Amino acid sequence: MSFFRYVFFFVFVFCFIPKTVFAVVDPTAVPNNKFGIHIAVADEQDLKDAAALVNSSGGDWGYVTVVIQENDRDTGKWQDIFNTMRKLHLIPIVRIASQQQGAVWKRPSADDAQGWADFLDSLNWVVENRYVVLYNEPNHAQEWGGEVLPEDYAHVAYTFAKTLKEKNPDFYVMLAGLDEAAPSSMPRHEDAGVFLSRVLATKDSASWGAVLDGICAHAYPNPGFVGSPDGWGKASVRGYQWLQDIFSQGGIIKKMPVFITETGWDQSKVGEETASQYLLQTFQNIWLSDANIVAVTPFILNYQSDPFLGFSWKKKEADSFYTIYTKTQEFLKQKGAPKQREKIEILSSLPTTFTAESKIGFALRIKNKGQSIIDAFDGYKIAVLQANKGFEEVISPIVLLGPGEETNISVFIKTPKKTGYTKSRIVLKKNDEQVSVIAPWNRRIVPKINMVVFVKLLLGFTREVGGYEVQVYDQRERIIFKRADMNTVNGKISLKDIPNVIVGESYRVVILRPYYLPRQTHVQLKETNNEVRVKPMLPLDWNRDGKWNWKDMIWFL
């Protein structure tokens, strides 16, 4: 009987207890810079100011919360914004929004989910995790079409989350941040705990757990945005802890990292210096020490009018900032290392067959199909890994190749003496660690090739004539072979052991002889039976400059 108990326990634990699942990357498991900022308009200057703030004092790859409204879904515009954020090392947290209709925000519909998923998936995101927050404070009537409707929000949010996940599993989905200080006064407001509990009750915990990845929190120091940095409870800077309990009570027991996308003190009430002191005190004593917090993006970098002027870190109608900006800049931060998709695609054909004991160069056209900017100064390089030693490769560095961009690289190889097959792979490395495989590259080494050139002098001997020079150029117009003082026998020049050849490629063969105009042709060189034929050579280069012109006449006269 004891044996069957163990079997039952094993099956129950491994089959029925929910397991922690992350979208792509657990953001708490990689080096992470928690500092961020919320911005109202994602223009270039605000993004630069945000980067100068969150990536200062040792920090890198901080966060920015941005809002995309349904009437602003311009792929070109937002791709440009994402590309700017990529260059500035800013990780976007996207809060989607409907649009204002008078004093309220239009109530979203579940029917909008596919359109949003298509739009968001059309963008090349900055990092693997595509952080998306589903709307804003729906426990306020004005944020949900004029009425608080927990079950309606639940239906819309679940449909959106499920649709996003089905579109691309990289979407990292969070429910809306709530006003955690709101009273229960329906239909205008609902207590955040009551609202969230009713939302979670619309589905079983497994369904919600399958589509949600993290918790979005608005951890304001209430009441009145003037509360203590040491406060406790749902209406405090620790409000996210209370939210975690609500999710657990709703049966979602998997790990849910926290994103505090709004917080901050009203400087018009507590004063500039106090707001700065309180924020950094909270970072130091609470948020930075909590391993489950991923990002804190205080509200707001730049807002030049009411009702949020008191929260703006940038002074009104000025290019300067309040103390809170400069003090946060000075605060020591961590260098983040978010996961990005790093992928290079080779657009041109890879040569596979080479002559032995050769030095060969060729160009490859490549395209950045990933998310990162491939730059040698950031430690990126293309390398060749091979099972059998003998080859040597030198590949030109890549500089500032952004996603979607193409460039040419030069590849130089030195082949071994031994003929046969070699298996290898072309890989992308960063700081000497492989990050992706670009392509397999199975190479074959063959003996140096032979070639017969058929030549004929328009005025001259046909049996045995000397003084010829043969030159062979590759597709990049570099000379790979030259042999002088060659003789023809019965109109043929026999060349043996030609190195530096990519078998199957086209080469330009040039025939020279003093006082004769050069002849050339293009030929695809094979392993064997290489025959080259040129037009009859004309004795018209009397001044030996390689061409026929009036100078030859002067020389002749």
Task: Supply the CATH number for residue 500's domain.
Answer: 2.60.40.1120
Between CA 413 and CA 393 the distance in angstroms is: 4
* Whole-number pLDDT of residue 447: 97
Q: How many domains does the chain have?
A: 3
When the pLDDT of each residue in the chain is averaged and rounded to a whole number, the result is 92
350 with 326, same domain: the answer is: no
* Whole-number pLDDT of residue 8: 40
* Whole-number pLDDT of residue 465: 79
Q: Which of residues 19 and 322 earns the better pLDDT score?
A: 322
Cα angle: 18, vertex 21, 27; to 5 degrees: 140
127-146 residue pLDDT tens: 999 999 999 999 999 999 99
pLDDT at 22 over 60: no
Q: Is residue 4 part of a domain?
A: no
pLDDT at 73 over 70: yes
Across the strands, what pairs with 470? Answer: 483, 511
* Whole-number pLDDT of residue 18: 41
Q: Is the pTM of this model over 0.85?
A: yes
pLDDT band at 541 (very low <50, low <70, confident <90, very high): confident
406-446 residue pLDDT tens: 999 999 999 999 999 999 999 999 999 999 999 999 999 99
188 with 45, same domain: the answer is: yes
349 with 273, same domain: the answer is: no
Exposed/middle/buried for residue 178 (C-beta within 10 Å: 0-12, 13-18, 19+): buried
Q: Is residue 540 part of a domain?
A: yes
424 with 456, same domain: the answer is: no
Residues 6 or more apart whose Cβ sits within 8 Å of residue 421: 442, 443, 444, 445
pLDDT at 548 over 70: no
pLDDT at 6 over 90: no
pLDDT at 539 over 50: yes
250 with 196, same domain: the answer is: yes
Give the residue numbers spanning the domain of 425.
Answer: 344-445
Please give the structure tokens belonging to residue 49.
């100011």
* Whole-number pLDDT of residue 554: 55
415 with 298, same domain: the answer is: no
Q: Is residue 6 part of a domain?
A: no
399 with 259, same domain: the answer is: no
